[in-house]
Structure 1
Amino acid sequence: MTGNASQSGHLRTVGAFAGMGSGLTKVAVGHGFDTIKTRLQCSPPGTYHGAIDVLTKILRNEGVLALYKGATPPAVGWAAIDSLLLGSLHNYRLFLIRHGMTEPTRGTEAPRLTLLAHGIAGLCAGFTSTLIATPVELLKVKLQLQSQRSVTDRQFKGPIDCARQIIRTQGILGLWSGFTGSLAFRSNFFWMFLSFEAFMRGFSRLAGTPYEISTGSANFVSGGLGAFAFWGMAIPADNIKNRMMAHPYPLPYAQLLTSAIVTRPSFFLTARQIYSRDGISGFFRGLGPCLLRAFPVNACAFFVYEGSMRVLGAEKTRH
């Protein structure tokens, strides 16, 4: 009995450890792309004329390291966020297995989660991680939008100074500005994990053929392709979330308490403003950098996560 309890506890925690590696991988591979995306989404009309223009102006005016502005919060926080996201994902999968959302595996008849169950587990994991993800993303967005080359010319000298100014101006709850946008954005992990599993099953059918690939390679490719499904669905909510978090940009963050700053824009008000200014296309701003970033970042992240799960001996939710 003691052995079973110990094994159960092990299975509940390995997802969290694997998630830490995944989160750090995302920052290392993808933060520069994310900075370009955020500038495109939140800057006033006419500031930039596409992703290449953003990249050119950043490199010319701010230097190559400017692509990694705001990297400290996700470098520290993304390990915790993905630890919570992927750790809870693993536990939601186990929960759904115990409660019968399974189907027989072709060939062996062993039970495995249905595709819908994988999506539901991703949805619940996305919601679970929102509480930690929101302040990390808020600090990242505000730091990424500072275009001054010299640190002394920037309003926020770093993530701690940024957090201090937010709390002084808006109170501690100001760190959760854009929470509803973040919740809407992270609900799209439904599509990420559903499509990842669908691709994994597709690759498994190649076993015994000349096109068979290793499990690690299938993880890598499925993670990259699943990211395309995720961003195709998530980019409108990402635009709304980032503009909520950027408020009151391009105006400077006020040093004094004013109603214009304390009042946080709502999800629907921000969506209405995007539509009135840019039409439907405004919700898809930054999609190009997202797609360029999506495959390498998520392919690497899934490769690290799934590989770690195998090494750690976690219970499998597919056969």
Structure 2
Amino acid sequence: MVSLSSPPPPPPRAEELQGGRPPIPPYVKAAAGSLGGVMEACCLQPIDVVKTRLQLDRSGAYRGIAHCGTTVARAEGVPALWKGLTPFATHLTLKYALRLGSNAVLQSAFKDPDTGKVSAQGRLASGFGAGVLEALVIVTPFEVVKIRLQQQKGLSTDLLRYKGPIHCAKTIVREEGLFGLWSGALPTVMRNGTNQAAMFTAKNTFDIFLWKKHEGDGKVLQPWQSMVSGFLAGTAGPICTGPFDVVKTRLMAQGRTGDIKYKGMVHAIRTIHAEEGLRALWKGLLPRLMRIPPGQAIMWGVADQVIGLYERTYLQSAHV
């Protein structure tokens, strides 16, 4: 006897489980991140200059953040606090575009096909992968140029070795080879991978815990709510990755020719610990904490609004 019963319906797709809304495209998240990066760079560049000067200070010339900032402004002029802004802003714009876009792509690969959700392990792996990618493609060469410009002291452009970001990059390639732009790549990869694994996971956790906001639910946070989540998510990384950041700065600043004090990441950590003590591996931590959490607050405050605008304009109207 042939059964006339209809076959069971197929399992619901991930977007159906999220209220029928399709996922936000990675290019939207990339654009949101780039706009947030521009705003962050303009607001926080002076703190980054102070952080770099403190990390490069071996003689104790600066007695702290305030003394460093006032010394630079008094000796070199207030605009010196925005040294390296062009590569810094360009680097942040491209970095956040790649970070948010690649993280979205990686998260889609880790999504459960039945529930459409990303596990905690998948979120960590996606963040780490996005951090490694941004470190190799964008962060390392741009930070090499930025740090070389920031370590220069003086007022007269004619007396400075590097006249600007393009001249700096060309000089490094000519004197040290193309890979000179990737000095300090290994500690940068370790720093950024760990940072982004923690940051994306923490941002999602704080959004859920504080605001009951789940990714893809159509709810758009207020800017101040996104800034609170972003600020809190940006605090853990600098503490965990301080030694990687100090070593990265030292390796990038010394170049590949002339006086090579540090032969690599491990050698640099051992040398700094032996010559300057354990605390030296966290030099510049306070300005990093003054820069990264507020930077994440600014970036997410902008990025979440751009993503929310896309959701309101396209996804919700399509759903209706």
TM-score scaled by length of structure 1? 0.82
* Corresponding letter in the other structure for 1:50: G
- Paired residue for 2:235? 228
- Does 2:55 correspond to 1:41? yes
CA contact (8 A) 2:99 2:130 kept: yes
TM-score scaled by length of structure 2? 0.82
Deviation of 1:15 after TM superposition, in Å, equals 1.7
SS at match of 2:117: strand
Q: Name the stretch that deviates more: 290-299 or 221-230.
A: 290-299
SS at match of 1:86: helix
Paired residues for 1:244-255 under 5 Å: 244-247=251-254
SS at match of 1:223: helix
Deviation of 1:116 after TM superposition, in Å, equals 3.5
Q: Name the stretch that deviates more: 129-138 or 90-99.
A: 90-99
Aligned match for 1:129, one of 122, 129, 134: 134
- Paired residue for 1:145? 151
Q: Which runs of 5+ in 2 are unaligned?
A: 1-14, 16-20, 214-219
- Paired residue for 2:202? 195
- Paired residue for 1:218? 225
Deviation of 1:97 after TM superposition, in Å, equals 1.2
Paired residues for 1:1-319 under 5 Å: 11-98=25-112, 112-131=117-136, 132-187=138-193, 188-205=195-212, 214-247=221-254, 260=259, 265-313=263-311
Structure label with greater radius of gyration: 2
CA contact (8 A) 2:144 2:181 kept: yes
Identity of aligned residues (%): 30
CA contact (8 A) 2:149 2:165 kept: yes
Instruction: Write out per-residue CA displacement over residues 264-303 of structure 1, whole angstroms, 9 at most, x where no aligned residue.
Output: 7311111112111222211111111112223322101011
Deviation of 1:120 after TM superposition, in Å, equals 2.0
CA contact (8 A) 1:116 1:194 kept: no
- Paired residue for 2:9? none
SS at match of 1:312: helix
* Corresponding letter in the other structure for 2:94: A
Instruction: Write out per-residue CA displacement over residues 91-146 of structure 1, whole angstroms, 9 at most, x where no aligned residue.
Output: 1122211467x7xxxxxxxx533333322211110011112211001000110111
Deviation of 1:233 after TM superposition, in Å, equals 1.5
CA contact (8 A) 2:112 2:118 kept: no
Instruction: Write out per-residue CA displacement over residues 229-271 of structure 1, whole angstroms, 9 at most, x where no aligned residue.
Output: 12122222111111110115xxxxxxxx95646x973111111
- Cα RMSD (Å): 2.8
Report the number of matched residues. Answer: 288
Q: Say if 1:258 and 1:194 are closer, same or farther in 2 by CA, change over 3 A.
A: closer
- Paired residue for 1:254? none
Q: Name the stretch that deviates more: 288-297 or 61-70.
A: 288-297
CA contact (8 A) 1:20 1:82 kept: yes
Deviation of 1:77 after TM superposition, in Å, equals 2.6
Distance in 2, matches of 1:35 and 1:258, equals 24
Q: Say if 1:178 and 1:197 are closer, same or farther in 2 by CA, change over 3 A.
A: same
